[in-house]
Structure 1
Amino acid sequence: MKVGLFIPCYVDQFYPQVAVATLELLERHGCEVHYPLKQTCCGQPMVNSGFASMAGGCDKNFIANFSGYEYIVCPSGSCALHIKEHLHSAEEPNAAATIRERIYELTEFITDVLKLEGVKASFPHKVGLHVSCHGQRMLHLSSMSEKVEKPFSKAEALLSTVDGLELFRTSRADECCGFGGTFCVTEEAVSVSMGNTRIKEHLANGVHYITGGDMSCLMHLEGLLKRQKIDIKVIHLAEILNAQ
């Protein structure tokens, strides 16, 4: 199974350990993983800010780097969704369409393609799960409280198989943390308030870590935690699922 590993730019720059954990996790489960060295930002920040016309170079570069892979895997729901929804090319429409069909968020790939019901990992800590909006509402990685549907969570199902891990969900599990990409810059006060609301629930649960599938959301929460000197760490799902 030939996999192209798509690492978001902010993960590459600030959280490289997440990229390494993702690579090792996929290789441990039989994937032949390739990391295209010329990959850059997927263009999501520009598109989300209303400058989609300026993301053409990102689209062209993504197609050049990821064409030909059987699967493309990304440890970020929002970046995976951006490619799935917005990647296009007037010059190479077929290549763009093929990539849109072949890209997966990490837990989605593990669950739906590798079809693993669990992983061999050990993480003996109290962990709070943060559910990111893009993954939940657009990629359908978990159920939504406003819909009448059978509750499910691909991340929670995988975490439940990790030895020693005590998992805690918040009472308002699918509420946004306030990051929202450039929203946290343009609406700083609202963003901070939303993030602090999330943190209060995790504090009440007495967790040692907050995990999730989007390091961008976790980065936002991490900033709030550090500024308030709260002794809770953030950790990506890949790091836990790869912990030995």
Structure 2
Amino acid sequence: MPTTVDIFIPCFVDQLYPATAMHMVRVLERVGVEVNYNPNQTCCGQPAYNAGYVDQSRAVADKFLADFAAPATDTQRYIVSPSASCVGMVRNSYNDLYAGQPGRAACQAVQGRVYELTEFLVDVLGITAIPGARLDGKYTYHDSCSGLRECHIRAQPRQLLDAVAGLERLEMAETTTCCGFGGTFAVKFEAISVAMAQQKVEHALDTGADFIVSTDVSCLMHLESYIKKEKLPLKCLHVADVLASGW
């Protein structure tokens, strides 16, 4: 039987980068995965949680847990998302939200099934190349804070991207340094946030890469805004956008 996954599409991906969500679906189906989408899904609660609104965040998280409760016939069904940030929220911050709370058991059941796209492909399915994927050019990879520090994702996206025909990796300096987005951080500390984006983009330009690629469109959105403002010769792509190219 084919592996079945429930996909979680974060609110900002749904509203701003729907093509990336569709590319993830294409990639999963390309490797034989059966995809299920629950249209009732909304947000994981991360924006409210990061802003300090714990009770409001828990209310959103309650809905997330209900929306992604495993069916009785398939309690091991995976949840896959194109956002390491949201996966990190569920895996880690939900521990704080549900400490001593009645929903603790339901929380743990979901936490054990949620994966970011590249770690699901590599660590769960054992897939390190997408058949037919091709993109001509050079890329540099940005390790998002959530992906690297909360989900321990580093090798997986690079393995998949390095297997894309025509694509060459050029590592930038300080690839693990924050891009400056940080959700509300970019609003509250705009000058610092922009300076951090500038530094990240300059490191990317120094490599001679054509693309900046990451697991998180939130980071890419932040970097892309600086790139467009300065009219720089770089393009930002989510890893799913790359893996869905060429076929």
TM over 0.5: yes
**Equivalent-residue separation in structure 2 for 1:202 and 1:163 (angstroms):** 21
Q: Which residue of 1 aligns with 2:230?
A: 228
**Equivalent-residue separation in structure 1 for 2:238 and 2:31 (angstroms):** 18
Per-residue CA distance 1:47-81 (angstroms, 9 max, x = gap):
11111111122112112211116100011111011
More displaced 10-residue stretch of structure 1: 66-75 or 183-192: 66-75
Question: Of the candidates 219, 222, 236, which is equivalent to residue 221 of structure 2?
Answer: 219
**Equivalent-residue separation in structure 2 for 1:91 and 1:36 (angstroms):** 24
Q: Which residue of 1 aligns with 2:169?
A: 167
Q: Which residue of 1 aligns with 2:42?
A: 40
Q: Which residue of 1 aligns with 2:92?
A: 85
**Equivalent-residue separation in structure 1 for 2:233 and 2:189 (angstroms):** 26
More displaced 10-residue stretch of structure 1: 62-71 or 6-15: 62-71
SS in 2 for 1:165: strand
More displaced 10-residue stretch of structure 1: 6-15 or 48-57: 48-57
Question: Of the candidates 147, 157, 160, which is equivalent to residue 158 of structure 1?
Answer: 160
Is this contact kept in 1: 2:172–2:204, CA < 8 A? yes
**Equivalent-residue separation in structure 2 for 1:34 and 1:233 (angstroms):** 31
Q: Which residue of 2 aligns with 1:76?
A: 83
User: Gaps spanning 5+ residues in structure 2: where?
Assistant: 72-76
Read off the aligned partner of 1:106 and give its amino acid letter: L
Read off the aligned partner of 2:5 and give its amino acid letter: V
Question: Of the candidates 217, 222, 237, which is equivalent to residue 239 of structure 2?
Answer: 237
More displaced 10-residue stretch of structure 1: 54-63 or 156-165: 54-63
User: Gaps spanning 5+ residues in structure 1: where?
Assistant: 143-152
Alignment of 1:17-32 (within 5 A): 17-32=19-34
Give the deviation of 1:91 after TM superposition. Answer: 4.5
Aligned-residue Cα RMSD (Å) equals 1.3
Is this contact kept in 1: 2:119–2:156, CA < 8 A? yes
Alignment of 1:25-174 (within 5 A): 25-68=27-70, 70-87=77-94, 90-120=101-131, 121-142=133-154, 153-174=155-176
Give the deviation of 1:122 after TM superposition. Answer: 0.4
Per-residue CA distance 1:120-167 (angstroms, 9 max, x = gap):
21011121211111111121112xxxxxxxxxx211111110000011
Tell me the number of residue pairs that the alignment of Structure 1 and Structure 2 aligns. 234
